[in-house]
Copies of this chain bind each other. A is one copy, B any other.
């Protein structure tokens, strides 16, 4: 069996290595137009940041051996041809036309099974100046290497990041840590659009600003200016001077070969595959960033383009299995993503609130804020969780998190529950490992699920911070702070007309509350705010809500 794999970064080598283990007799060749294969491109920002000193680390195995053609031949048993480009596919004769860049020679390469792992490419926005010196995209070790070298050589000081997605958030941290002045521009009115709901994005953005990143939201970039090197970035509203620019406004699937060969692709890009990675031609597979995905549990039906190294590796395994005759259909993705942003982790899995509404799903949400350990543990740190559940069947359909803490733990738990179709009640009952260094007795993600259950059951009546602020601004509501006097004197919400009544005085001072306005109760994390809502309900106040997340979750 002759297997030809086009593309050598993530899905390609994974397919080849797995297939060789399954079918030692298979004749496997992987071609790659670049000079490098199998590098860890997700590590590029960390090289710039200085987490590791040598770019070769991204190319070498953990044992320090370069993953080059000789390595794959000797240890994995398949052939690798670098600087070798696939020009076209002849499906009828089952050959691929390849060109060897160094010799300029072209020839036909035959296959029984063909795997397209051609990856993605950075979207180039239709603006001027992308080819100026000191403008970088960030997709290849050469980019990171040259950026780091040039920052030092030219003494670059002022970086503008175009786009506020995963890569540029990592780059913001990397460049701030390298001592640069960093401005991040995003055409939408929030960071991580399409990933986070606005409230969680605002909460995370607050942290970026605290760490010195200047955020310019809601402004489109119209051009990059400069004579030979970058001098400024123009938005529709202002000119921002800059001596370097990183453009990261999305990835597009590299589906040209497939499209030219008549394989089914989505009009807006991406190769359509089934759960085994097969394209519309059963002998041609596609995986990694060039291929589309499906959502795991049917809540979204169309193909999704979510390019990730983790998913690319899964595709490789699935494709190798199917070529080897094993039937292991890929269940799909739940659109999980996480990014480290200075001291915060920010992540999401499943479907967001905005997205759920666009899909016409009937959902309820809850936002929890609080510490990740019992308060007596000195390393306890705050974070925020927003959970989205279906009203109809109480299934958890999405979770977004941000904060100082071990968010990745709770994100992965949420991804597990969503993948397996768990409800809020299932999540509440999971027997999480409890010890004070790891969580409170009830893990925050379970507490969040319980509070969302309480909301669905009509017991807890919360409003999210955005709604609370808008009610306050409209004059229809008053804020009531139910913390102790000590706490109130230390910090409070920066608004007029906040009524302060400590929870333990609430019953006797209930006369101080207005009857004609909505009462919005809060405390540090709003557990006492919730308690206040219940107490006021029992005293006949019906128009009471508590502000979810309290002061700890306040994003303004």
Contacts and interface: CB of A to CB of B under 8 A. Distances in A.
Interface in A1-29: 10, 20-22, 24-25
Interface stretch (A176-184, A353-361, A370-378): A370-378
Contact of A336 (B296, B412, B432): B432
Given A409-B412, A534-B21, A376 B296 contact: no
Interface string A403-434: 00010110111011101111001111111111
A240 interface: no
Centre residue among A20, A429, A528 by max chain B CB count within 10 A: A429
Interface string A306-337: 00111111100100000000101011111111
Nearest to A295: B431
Contacts of A64: 484, 486
A63 interface: yes
Interface in A51-95: 51-52, 57-58, 61-65, 70-71, 74-77
A551 B125 CA distance: 49
A42 interface: yes
Contact of A441 (B309, B326, B484): B309
A427 to B, nearest CB: 8
Interface residues of A, number: 110
Contacts of A409: 406, 408-409, 412
A208 to B, nearest CB: 16
Contacts of A62: 371, 375, 524
A436 interface: yes
Nearest to A375: B62
Contacts of A419: 422, 426, 429-431
Contacts of A429: 296, 314, 330-332, 419
A79 B537 CA distance: 20
Given A63-B484, A429-B330, A77 B535 contact: yes
Given A24-B537, A377-B51, A74 B433 contact: no
Interface stretch (A101-109, A265-273, A339-347): A339-347
Contacts of A47: 376
Given A74-B504, A314-B442, A378-B51, A416 B430 contact: yes
Contacts of A63: 483-484, 486-487, 523-524, 528
B42 A435 contact: yes
Contacts of A345: 437-438
Contact of A420 (B21, B336, B420, B442): B420
B420 A426 contact: yes
Contact of A504 (B40, B71, B406, B438): B71
A334 B431 contact: yes
Given A309-B441, A433-B415, A435-B339, A75 B524 contact: no
A436 B46 contact: yes
A462 to B, nearest CB: 13
Interface string A28-48: 000000000000101100110
Nearest to A345: B438
B420 A432 contact: no
Nearest to A337: B433
Contact of A438 (B57, B340, B442, B487): B340
A257 interface: no
A323 to B, nearest CB: 14
A74 B433 CA distance: 33
11 contacts: A42-B441, A46-B377, A51-B376, A63-B483, A65-B484, A310-B434, A331-B425, A336-B434, A338-B435, A412-B432, A419-B430
Given A24-B538, A40-B374, A62-B375, 9 more contacts: A40-B436, A57-B375, A74-B505, A77-B538, A310-B432, A331-B425, A345-B438, A416-B417, A419-B430
Interface of A: 10, 20-22, 24-25, 40, 42-43, 46-47, 51-52, 57-58, 61-65, 70-71, 74-77, 166, 170, 296, 308-314, 317, 326, 328, 330-340, 345, 347, 349, 371, 374-378, 406, 408-409, 411-413, 415-417, 419-422, 425-439, 441-443, 450, 457, 459, 483-484, 486-487, 503-505, 507, 523-524, 528, 530-531, 534-535, 537-538
List 3 A-B pairs, minimum CB-CB distance, nearest first: A338-B433, A24-B538, A74-B504
